[in-house]
């Protein structure tokens, strides 16, 4: 299934996720903190994945299956990889807007030097762009971009898109201890984001199992310093530090719900138990899915998560 949730979003309320990248992760980055894991197929080439009509039909069926209380605030492209790699993204956005639900895109912003990518994203109502560093060495360390990507072109693409986009633009910066959290790097990053003029600049930390096990969030004093530095640049800065909650939408098919959410969004154990309860499902489903190698159980911090496993 292409759509999943809705899941509670710290930025978007109830967000119905749309995964327009099928099967294993495909991305232009292999970020050290990525909750979907290491990128095995790095690429910057836009390709065909789904016909827009297929995405529309799947979303329509999903919306029809939801209770009124679970109707989403946003239809959000949050893919198993980078959603702008989908060459049909623009067409899909246009057809989904006929539901009269705002469309959001969460992108790593790596392909914004491409005019067609910018034109596609401009069709959305809300766009989040990743800005983890304004320093080439740090950018490479934290985002591990595909070899053909050029840092200068990446920054120019960000600036160009921000000057063209008429919807709501936000930025998100993931802070990783010892990588992009020094005072000098934070000032550089905040300076670039200020040029983008986002409505909100989000600062986040790893709260789910990262691609590399050694990745840790900065100390509280560093997070506070980051907020101060961003605020001093005139940015409306918000912290994303906690858990979104367990109020995940459901379709009545527990097995599909679990697999589809896990593909792009690790499920914390308390959320998983609530999802099973809502679907009137037996917890032994988890054992079946783990034995079938569809999902796996991992520990991060003090919590247990379930994530998608690709054979």
Residuewise pLDDT in 10s, the chain (311 residues): 688 888 888 789 899 999 998 777 889 999 999 988 888 889 999 999 999 999 999 999 999 988 888 899 999 998 888 999 999 999 999 999 999 999 999 999 999 999 999 999 999 999 999 999 999 999 999 999 998 899 999 999 999 999 999 999 999 999 999 999 999 999 999 999 999 999 999 988 887 888 998 999 888 788 888 898 998 999 998 877 654 555 565 566 788 778 767 665 567 788 888 888 877 888 888 888 888 877 878 776 677 878 766 55
Q: How many CB atoms lie within 10 A of CB 103?
A: 21
The domain segmentation of the chain, as residue ranges, is: 3-244
Which residue carries 């990745």 as its tokens?
215
* pLDDT score at 234: 95
* pLDDT score at 70: 85
* pLDDT score at 246: 54
- What distance in Å separates the CA atoms of residue 279 and residue 276, rounded to the nearest whole number? 5
* pLDDT score at 18: 93
**CATH for 3-244, options being 1.10.3720.10, 3.40.50.10420, 3.20.20.70, 3.40.630.30:** 3.20.20.70
* pLDDT score at 301: 66
* pLDDT score at 121: 98
* pLDDT score at 124: 98
Please choose, from the candidates 134, 143, 238, 129, the residue with its C-alpha nearest in 3D space to the C-alpha of residue 190. Answer: 134
Work out the burial of residue 165: count CB atoms within 10 Å of its CB; fewer than 13 is exposed, 13-18 middle, 19 or more buried. middle
């Amino acid at each position: 299934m292409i759509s999943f949730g809705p899941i509670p979003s710290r930025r978007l309320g109830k967000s119905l996720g749309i995964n327009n990248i099928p099967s294993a992760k495909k991305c232009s980055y292999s970020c050290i903190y990525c909750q979907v894991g290491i990128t095995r197929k790095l690429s910057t080439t836009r390709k065909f994945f789904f016909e827009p009509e297929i995405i529309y039909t799947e979303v329509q069926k999903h919306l029809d299956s939801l209770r009124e209380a679970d109707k989403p605030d946003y239809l959000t492209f949050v893919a198993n990889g980078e959603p702008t790699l989908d060459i049909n993204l623009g067409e899909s956005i246009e057809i989904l807007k006929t539901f009269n639900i705002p469309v959001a895109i969460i992108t790593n912003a790596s392909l914004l030097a491409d005019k067609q990518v910018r034109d596609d994203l401009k069709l959305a109502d809300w766009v989040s762009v990743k800005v983890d560093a304004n320093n080439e060495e740090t950018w490479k360390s934290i985002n591990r971009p595909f070899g053909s990507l050029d840092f200068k072109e990446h920054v120019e693409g960000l600036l160009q898109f921000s000057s063209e986009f008429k919807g709501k633009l936000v930025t998100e910066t993931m802070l990783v201890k010892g990588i992009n959290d020094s005072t000098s790097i934070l000032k550089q990053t905040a300076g670039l984001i200020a040029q983008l003029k986002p409505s909100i600049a989000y600062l986040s930390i790893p709260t789910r199992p990262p691609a590399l096990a050694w990745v840790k969030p900065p100390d509280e004093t560093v997070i506070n310093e980051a907020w101060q530095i961003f605020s001093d640049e005139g940015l409306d800065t918000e912290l994303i530090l906690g858990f979104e909650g367990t109020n995940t939408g459901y379709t009545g098919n527990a097995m599909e719900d679990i697999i589809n959410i896990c593909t792009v969004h690790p499920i914390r154990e308390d959320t998983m138990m609530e999802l099973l309860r809502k679907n009137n499902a037996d917890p032994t489903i988890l054992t079946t899915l783990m034995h079938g190698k569809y999902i796996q159980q991992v520990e991060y911090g003090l919590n247990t998560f379930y994530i998608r496993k690709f054979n």
